[in-house]
Chain A
Amino acid sequence: MDRREFLKVTGAGALTLFLSGCGINAVSGDKKAGAAPSASGAEAKPGGVSNGKKLKIVVLCGSPHKAGTSALLADKFIEGAQAAGHEVFRFNAAFEDINPCRGCDACGMNGPCVIQDAISAKLIQKLVDCDMVALVTPLYYYGFSAQIKTVIDRFYSRTSAIHRKKSMLMATAWNSSDITFNALQEHYNTLVRYMEWQDVGRVLGYGCGSRSAIEGSEFPEQAFRIGKSL
């Protein structure tokens, strides 16, 4: 689908969101990817996600670029969310001491992780306590970056306690073909289903291989609007 079609279906998704009155997004196939609520979806009902409550939001960033394209989406989303009074904790996975899950199961899916790194020390309790998780990633080989996937796999030690949050996805890619984000969206949709998350929106930055490319696009504003209108 081209950009115009993409906007059209995300708009339709926003209507679905409004009519259904809930943001729970069923797992959708590639062709239904646009059924997800969009920036305009969140904007259609300001405060509809938080119901006026101050949200605790954890923003997980997976890019190794401090001032890259996905970092800009995170910046803008946070700017909007903070302007609306929400509390944000940002974790830049690529700049923290993090290690992958060893599958030892010492945590029993509900306890301390044996790995004493930044995920255990700084992040995991924030995830447990939060109302919303925002996943922010550059598209690396059509999936989450290894850095953010390392964090996601470590959800395991508190996986139930991280269920039933609100969530969103922001991603950027060099490519701009209609299939660019299909696999990532399929992955995110499945995560939402398994984690029983309430998807509140996604920003998919097609054709954003450089900072100047994304700065000239509508995506930063989309990220800001979602944050502002939670």
Chain B
Amino acid sequence: MKIVVVTGSPHKAGTSALLADKFIEGSESKGHEVFRFNAAFEDIHPCRGCDACGMNGPCVQKDAIEEKLIQKLVDSDMIVLVTPLYYFGFSAQLKTVIDRFYSRTGSIHKKKSALLATAWNNDSWTMTALKAHYTRLCQYMEWQDQGQIYATGCGYRSAIEGTEYPVQALELGKKV
């Protein structure tokens, strides 16, 4: 499969980055082709809602989303969203990419998908809003969810390294 992994953390070696690393390690070991896009380290801009694309054409913004990412998303079989939980949602960096799906939204429908998320907090309601959001996205995009990892209580690298979540990400990568 062609897999696009879109990460939303501004930390290059942070907690969600580790889940992305492990997922990619697992999926590449099974022969899948992975393209990784680290939103926080690319030149990206939010959707202007100009509708010049008509939901099916080039975006007027010639940034990394348009130049590097969007065609990869269109051509992919699977999209993996990776985010730290910021104020109970996708990070702004990842949400910027998601909003830009608009220009090719029909072509990004009907993919396989997965969600990898990490959070400092560890309450019963920590991931409720993100889960609701991802579930709604899958429904709208007609994505076939392959798995979700909600790594709560992972506020820093050593915290997540001591959990089972990196292995879960590795196994998810192997089984997709």
- Which residues of chain A are near B96, meaning CB under 8 Å? 100, 146, 150
Some 8 contacts from A to B, beta carbons below 8 A apart, are A27-B125, A64-B47, A103-B11, A103-B84, A143-B98, A150-B92, A153-B87, A183-B136
Count of A-B residue pairs with CB < 8 Å: 116
Query: If the complex has contacts A140-B47, A142-B137, are A186 and B128 also in contact, measured as CB distance less than 8 A?
Result: yes
**B106 interface residue, CB < 8 Å from A?**
no
Within 8 A of B (CB), among A59-105: 63-65, 68, 94, 100-104
Q: Across the interface, do A63 and B47 meet the contact criterion of CB distance under 8 Å?
A: no
**A189 interface residue, CB < 8 Å from B?**
yes
Q: Across the interface, do A147 and B129 meet the contact criterion of CB distance under 8 Å?
A: no
The distance in angstroms between the C-alpha atoms of A144 and B135, with both chains bound, is: 15
Query: If the complex has contacts A94-B46, A144-B95, A150-B92, are A189 and B129 also in contact, measured as CB distance less than 8 A?
Result: yes
Interface size class of B (residues with CB under 8 A): 35 or more
Interface string of B79-105 (1 = CB under 8 A from A): 000001011111111011011011000
Task: Give A48 Cβ to nearest chain B Cβ, in Å.
Answer: 28
Within 8 A of B (CB), among A98-139: 100-104, 138
Query: If the complex has contacts A141-B98, A143-B95, A179-B136, are A187 and B48 also in contact, measured as CB distance less than 8 A?
Result: no
Which residue of chain B is the closest to A63 with respect to CB atoms?
B49
The distance in angstroms between the C-alpha atoms of A102 and B46, with both chains bound, is: 17
Query: If the complex has contacts A149-B90, A187-B129, are A100 and B136 also in contact, measured as CB distance less than 8 A?
Result: no
4 A-B pairs closest in CB distance = A150-B92, A146-B96, A186-B132, A146-B46
- Which residues of chain B are near A145, meaning CB under 8 Å? 46-47, 95, 99
**A155 interface residue, CB < 8 Å from B?**
yes
Q: Across the interface, do B10 and A144 meet the contact criterion of CB distance under 8 Å?
A: no
**A191 interface residue, CB < 8 Å from B?**
yes
**A190 interface residue, CB < 8 Å from B?**
yes
Q: Across the interface, do A187 and B88 meet the contact criterion of CB distance under 8 Å?
A: yes
The distance in angstroms between the C-alpha atoms of A101 and B86, with both chains bound, is: 9
Task: Give A98 Cβ to nearest chain B Cβ, in Å.
Answer: 9
Q: Across the interface, do A153 and B133 meet the contact criterion of CB distance under 8 Å?
A: no
The distance in angstroms between the C-alpha atoms of A156 and B87, with both chains bound, is: 9
The distance in angstroms between the C-alpha atoms of A50 and B92, with both chains bound, is: 32
**A16 interface residue, CB < 8 Å from B?**
no
**A182 interface residue, CB < 8 Å from B?**
yes
Q: Which of B92, B128, B133 contacts A100 (CB 8 A)?
A: B92
The distance in angstroms between the C-alpha atoms of A174 and B173, with both chains bound, is: 36
Which residue of chain A is the closest to B98 with respect to CB atoms?
A141
Which residue of chain A is the closest to B91 with respect to CB atoms?
A153
Q: Across the interface, do B125 and A190 meet the contact criterion of CB distance under 8 Å?
A: yes
Q: Which of B50, B91, B99, B129 contacts A186 (CB 8 A)?
A: B129
- Which residues of chain B are near A182, meaning CB under 8 Å? 132, 136
